[in-house]
Structures are given as C-alpha cells and as structure tokens.
C-alpha cells in the first residue's frame, strides 16, 4: 500500500493547483456574489482535459483514473468549490455516456462534451422524489420505432438553461427500478423548458433550475444503454459523483484551514498572535487531522472504483458521508477562528461554509449514505 502520489499524479495535482490559483481563486467571490456562471473559464478547464477526466481517450477523454480525478477536484475546489462541483457533475454525465452509450451516441456527444462546446446536466431528482429516486414519475412513451415522447419535470438541476445536453432518468416501463431508462435530451428540443433560476444559499457560480418536458420528442438513438438500465446507470454515476463531491469538500476545507493558519498568525489579541493560544492550536490540530482522515477515505473509495472492488458502493458512501460532514465542520471552525471577520464577504470563510453545506445533501443525503452503508454491512 503506497500513500505517495506517483510522478504523473504529482503533475496532475500541480496542473489543477495552478489552474485553481490563476483562473478560479481570484474570481470566486465575484462569481458567488453576482451569481455568474463562468462558462469561458469552464472551457479553459476543458482545454486541460478536466471535462472528461476518466473518459476513453478514443472519444476525446483524458483516460485518467478516479484517483486522478479526486486529486484534481481537491485542487480545483480549493480555488472555487461551486465551479469545481459543476465540473464534477459534467464529468459524471460524460462518463455515463462513455461507459454505457452506443458507439453512435459516443461519437455524437463525447468530443463536444470533452471540450465543453456542449455543457451537461444530470437529471434525476423530481419535485416529488428526492431521496426516493426510484419513485420518479417523468415518463417516456414510445412513438413508433423511432422516438420517445417525454413528459415530466426535474428539480434542482445544476446547469439549468445554460446546459446543452440533459441526461434524464425517466420511466419507460413498470414501477420500480427496472422500469427506469436514461435518455439524452438536447437543448432546443420542442417542449423543453426551464423554471426560474433558483436563489440558493451557496453554489452560486452555477445556475440551478427546474427542467420541464412537455411532449418532447426524442430520437430512440438518444437512449443510453438499454431500456430499464437507467437506474443502474444513475447509481453507478452517483458512486463516482459521491467521491468527486467528497474531494470537493477536501479542497474547500483545505482552503479554510490555510486561511485560518495565516489569519491566526497575523491577528493579535491580548498582546500575542492567535496561533500562540493553545485553544487555537488545538482547533488547527483537529482541523488538520480531520482533513487528513477525510482525504484517506476519499482516496480509498476512488481506488475501489478504479479496481472495481465489490465494496466500492459502500466505500463511496462512507467517504461521502464522512468527508462532507467533517469538512463542513472544518469550515465552520475556521469561521469561528476568524471571528467577526469570518462573517464578512471580504473573507472567503462565509462562502466556504455556504458552499460546503450542500454537499451533505446532494448526491444522496448523508442520511441515505447511512442507509446504503448499513445495507452493505448486513449483506456481508
């Protein structure tokens, strides 16, 4: 067991770090406060191969591992958690097409997704089915042998009207998981519409809205996998998505720890800097320890995906549950160290607290992670 990154991984880490520090970090506050979706910056990320990290090189992907991706997302989110998280979602959709799509679908979409000429959204959650994803009602009915007619709505969709392709989980068969399929809906499809841009607590550099389907006619060629494969595809996508979001939490928490170390060394109270007080030293020590423990869990889960470990789903759920809970608390502790200044938008702490909070909810709430873990414990 080797805990050191190899030379390629160190180069990947350095590339993502440099991009985060030059293209994300200087603008993250502005994007957050003005709710700017930085499309051109995302396309710059794509030029570095960050839009299709673990996608086959034959179709324009980078051909890297899930472990490589986790390393990237930690570095990117250190610059801007919200923007890094959207890149994670886009990667998840691109991977789903690469892993399960027909050659025709791969040829049509992956190259454009890998350059972010096309931006993507993952559409699973509905107004009436959040954690109970298998209860989704969006329905696709066959029209002859050439098209589906799609009706329904999806909620909390990152990308919203900015995206060009939507991976939609919909019902093509009976109730239950086996009746769900994955269909790609392209922007401009008649009957496709969007709700208002949601006003959110965090993740403000990516737009979020409802996505509505009103008798949308979709070519049967846009089916990913076979009919009835959709729920399995969605869950496999979420295993990787959970690792990516956990890695994004690592980056945000690391930024919070670094800011706290710098601030506590400069800020003086009662005649000495804050980092000379044992209470501050203990907080920083706890933050660093929890961050390191979280990173080990995230990298372990990523490796499990790379090796197709039978425990991968459990390990991904564990990493997501632990890292997102702990890293959110690290950011909260960092804000406390900053005192009143941490509450100001002039400092990054309040944004980090807001951005990391949603990681405990999306990609399956942390309560659902506990359900998944307990089921796997019983199975073993």
Sorted by where each begins, the domain ranges of the chain are 7-114, 120-230, 234-379
CA 230 to chain CA centroid, nearest Å? 19
Whether the per-residue pLDDT at 61 is higher than 80: the answer is yes
Residue 127: the pLDDT is 93
Q: What is the CATH number of domain 7-114?
A: 1.10.540.10
pTM of the model: 0.96
Tokens 């710059």, residue located? 44
Quick one: pLDDT band at residue 149, thresholds 50, 70, 90? Answer: very high
Whether the per-residue pLDDT at 1 is higher than 80: the answer is no
Cβ(333)–Cβ(285) under 8 Å?
A: no
Q: What is the CATH number of domain 234-379?
A: 1.20.140.10
Measured CA to CA in angstroms, residue 237 lies from 94, 214, 216, 279, 297 at distances of 10, 26, 25, 42, 19
Whether the per-residue pLDDT at 208 is higher than 80: the answer is yes
320/368 Cα distance (integer angstroms): 11
Taking residues 174-181, report their average pLDDT: 94
**Mean predicted lDDT score pLDDT of the chain:** 96
Cβ(153)–Cβ(126) under 8 Å?
A: yes
**Residue 129 per-residue DSSP state:** B
2: enclosing H helix or E strand? none
Taking residues 111-122, report their average pLDDT: 97
Q: 262 φ, ψ to 5°?
A: -65, -45
Q: Exposed (0-12), middle (13-18) or buried (19+): which is 274, by Cβ within 10 Å?
A: buried
Tokens 């923007």, residue located? 83
Which one from 23, 74, 126, 363 is the annotated catalytic residue?
363
350 is catalytic: no
Taking residues 142-148, report their average pLDDT: 94
The C-alpha angle with vertex 178 and arms to 173 and 184, in degrees rounded to 5, equals: 70
Please tell me the class of the 120-230 domain.
mainly beta
**Residue 21 per-residue DSSP state:** I
Tokens matching residue 132: 């109970």
Instruction: Count CB atoms within 10 A of the CB of residue 63.
Output: 15
Residues 351-374: tens digit of each pLDDT: 999 999 999 999 999 999 999 999
- Report the percentage of the chain scoring pLDDT > 90: 96
Residue 40: the pLDDT is 97
Tokens 């690290």, residue located? 330
Residue 132: the pLDDT is 87
Instruction: Count CB atoms within 10 A of the CB of residue 88.
Output: 27
Residue 131: the pLDDT is 86
């Amino acid at each position: 067991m080797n805990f050191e990154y190899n030379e390629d991984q160190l180069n990947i880490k350095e590339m993502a770090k440099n991009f985060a520090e030059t293209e994300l970090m200087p603008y993250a506050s502005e994007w957050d406060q003005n709710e700017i979706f930085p499309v051109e910056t995302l396309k710059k990320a794509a030029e570095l191969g960050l839009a299709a990290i673990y996608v086959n090189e034959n179709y324009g992907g980078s051909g890297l591992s899930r472990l490589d991706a986790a390393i990237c997302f930690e570095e990117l989110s250190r610059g801007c958690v919200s923007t890094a998280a959207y890149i994670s979602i886009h990667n998840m959709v691109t991977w789903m097409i690469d892993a399960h799509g027909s050659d025709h679908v791969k040829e049509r979409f992956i190259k454009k997704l890998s350059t972010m000429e096309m931006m993507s959204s993952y559409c699973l959650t509905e107004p009436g089915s959040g954690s109970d994803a298998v209860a989704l009602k969006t329905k696709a009915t066959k029209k002859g042998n050439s098209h589906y007619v799609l009706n329904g709505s999806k909620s909390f969709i990152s990308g919203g009207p900015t995206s060009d392709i939507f991976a939609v989980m919909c019902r093509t068969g009976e109730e239950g998981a086996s009746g769900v399929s994955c269909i790609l809906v392209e922007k401009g499809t008649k009957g496709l519409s969007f709700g208002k841009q949601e006003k959110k607590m965090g993740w403000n550099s990516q737009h979020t809205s409802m996505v509505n389907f009103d008798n949308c006619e979709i070519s049967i060629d846009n089916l990913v996998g076979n009919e009835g494969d959709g729920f399995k595809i969605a869950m496999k996508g979420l295993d990787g998505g959970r690792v990516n979001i956990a890695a994004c939490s690592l980056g945000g928490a690391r930024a919070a720890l670094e800011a706290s170390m710098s601030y506590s060394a400069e800020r003086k109270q009662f005649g000495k800097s804050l980092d000379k007080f044992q209470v501050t030293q203990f907080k920083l020590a706890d933050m660093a320890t929890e961050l390191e423990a979280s990173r080990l869990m995230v990298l372990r889960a990523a490796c499990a995906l790379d090796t197709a470990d039978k425990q991968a789903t459990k390990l991904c759920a564990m990493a997501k549950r632990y890292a997102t809970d702990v890293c959110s608390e690290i950011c909260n502790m960092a804000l406390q160290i900053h005192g009143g200044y941490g509450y100001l938008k002039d400092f990054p702490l309040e944004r980090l607290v807001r951005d990391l909070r949603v990681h405990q909810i999306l990609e399956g709430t942390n309560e659902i992670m506990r359900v998944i873990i307990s089921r796997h414990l019983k199975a073993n």
